[in-house]
Amino acid sequence: MSFRAVGQFPNYRPRRLRQSPALRRLVRETELSAGNLVLPLFVRSGKRRRDPIGSMPGVFQLSPDEALIEATKAFKLGIPAVLIFGIPDHKDKKASGAYHKNGIVQQIVRLLKKELPELLVITDVCLCEYMSHGHCGIVHEERHILNDASLPLLARTARSHAEAGADIVAPSDMMDGRVAAIRAELDKNGLEDTPILSYAAKFASAFYGPFREAAESAPKFGDRRSYQMDGANTNEAMREVAMDIAEGADMVMVKPALAYLDILHRVKTEFGYPTAAYAVSGEFSMIKAAAEKGWLDERGATLEALLSMRRAGADIIITYSAMDVARWLK
């Protein structure tokens, strides 16, 4: 699309189209609706458990029965999908809880698919929550993350989620080659129809802080900069996305969202793939904290932030505010 110089339209007065709510609605270019949203859920073992997460007001670690209640509310509000994160009872150096047939994710997936078959269940495929050291792959001598050695574990985790009934698997580890490894493993096991939503451009970010409390997945040493992206790089993000698509990703994600809207826009315009934005924990918590102090209007700030993601090109928005937003939009 190209615009002529404003001087060529001496009679154009943009304000004319802003005079009333109805007029503004008529010419609105972007819409945010519940149908775009995905609600993340943190699930751990037990019954009737709703453990509050201090850094994320209103978000809980839920036992499967409580997660089902939450998912049912979300579904009734018109939210089409949930994203599952598991918090295992047991962590080790090979993340065995991630691909155990009766792991916490596998249990909740089976329960949700049985009770709410129409709700899409997306699973986060990562090893960090299941590793005693908190990194997203196998660690060598407390220093290096072994990329290739981690791939079979990730593939096995994704397969076990899909076998439990997950509708979509979403690898968030950022190991190179994991989409291909997961695709091959799924295809070999009769799961060729399970789509992959890859966290394609995932940046090493301070905005994940509250999540690491929520998922109990903070690395015990070092950080994630050897595998997550450097926030300074745009072209590299395009290569990451291109690679994941070539390897078989059906949908791609940019994460975080608010500080990376330029990346989101470029990913959507250059690849035209179904694109997700993850409004991460820090984006959620900073609005909550400011709202608690009375410094920001929570509803206004949240809707404005999420709308900016839609405007930048997101088809899908993963947000901890999904239920509130769905209510506000009603």
Q: Provide the minimum distance between the beta carbon of 172 and ligand PBG in the complex, in angstroms, as a whole number.
A: 4
Query: Of residues 73, 101, 202, 293, which has the active-site annotation?
Result: 202
Q: Does 61 bind ligand PBG (CB under 6 A)?
A: no
| Shortest Cβ 20–ligand PBG spacing (Å) | 38
Burial class (CB in 10 A: 0-12, 13-18, 19+), 286: middle
String marking each residue 261-290 x if it binds ligand PBG according to CB under 6 A: -------------------xx---------
Give whichever of 66 and 129 is closer to ligand PBG, judged by the CB atom.
129
Identity of the residue, 224 or 268, whose beta carbon is nearer to ligand PBG in the bound complex:
224
Q: Which region among 18-26, 73-81, 122-130, 229-237 touches ligand PBG (by CB under 6 A)?
A: 122-130
Q: Which residue is nearest to ligand PBG (CB)?
A: 211
Min separation Cβ 125 and ligand PBG, Å:
9
Of 2-10, 120-128, 140-148, 175-183, the segment contacting ligand PBG by CB under 6 A is: 120-128
Min dist. Cβ of residue 280 to ligand PBG (A) = 4
Q: Tell me how far, at minimum, the Cβ of 260 lies from ligand PBG, in Å.
A: 13
Residues 183-212 contacting ligand PBG, CB under 6 A: 208, 211-212
Confirm whether 288 is a catalytic residue: no
Q: Which member of 91, 255, 268, 288 is catalytic?
A: 255
73 classed as catalytic? no
Among 84, 125, 126, 131, binds ligand PBG (CB under 6 A): 126
Contact status: 124 vs ligand PBG (CB under 6 A)? yes
**Catalytic site residues?**
202, 255
